Amino acid sequence: MQKPVDFATWHRHLAHARTDTLQNMIRNKLVDGMNTYGEMALGEMCKDCIFVKHTSYPYNSIMVKERDVLEHIYIDLWGLAQVQSAGGAHYFMAITDGFSLYQTVTFLALKLAETTLKVFKAYYKEAKCQTGRKLKRIRLDMDREWFNNTWEQYRNNEGLIFEFTAPYAHQQNEVAERGMQTILEVAQSILVESGLPTKYWANMIQTVVYVKNFLPSSRQPNKIPAELWHGWRQDVSHLRPFGCMAYAHILLNLNISKLQPR
Q: Which helix (H) or strand (E) holds 124?
A: helix 113-131
194 located within any domain: yes
**Dihedrals phi, psi of 95, to nearest 5 degrees:** -125, 125
Question: What are the beta bridge partners of residue 75?
Answer: 95
Residue 173, pLDDT above cutoff 90: no
64 located within any domain: no
- CA separation for the pair 155, 140 (Å, rounded): 13
**Dihedrals phi, psi of 161, to nearest 5 degrees:** -95, 115
Domain with 87, as residue range(s), is 72-230
In the chain, how many domains are there?
2
Closest C-alpha to 170, from 4, 57, 262, 248: 57
Give pLDDT tens digits for 178-215.
888 889 998 888 888 888 899 999 999 999 999 999 99
Tell whether 193 and 90 lie within a shared domain: yes
Give pLDDT tens digits for 124-140.
999 999 899 999 999 98
Give pLDDT tens digits for 40-70.
676 666 676 677 667 766 555 556 788 899 9
pLDDT, average across residues 105-109: 96
173 located within any domain: yes
- CA separation for the pair 213, 206 (Å, rounded): 11
184 located within any domain: yes
For helices 149-158 and 113-131, give the axis angle rounded to 10 degrees.
30
Tell me the DSSP string of 35-46: -EES-SS-SS--
The CATH code of the domain that includes 207 is 3.30.420.10
Tell whether 86 and 157 lie within a shared domain: yes
154 located within any domain: yes
Residues 183, 202: contact at Cβ < 8 Å?
no
Tell whether 40 and 135 lie within a shared domain: no
253 located within any domain: no
Residue 20, pLDDT above cutoff 70: yes
The region, left, alpha or beta by phi > 0 then psi within -120 to 50, assigned to residue 244 is beta
Residues in the chain: 262
Local structure of residue 255 (DSSP, 8 states): -
Rounded to an integer, what is the distance from CA 261 to the centroid of its chain? Answer: 44
110 located within any domain: yes
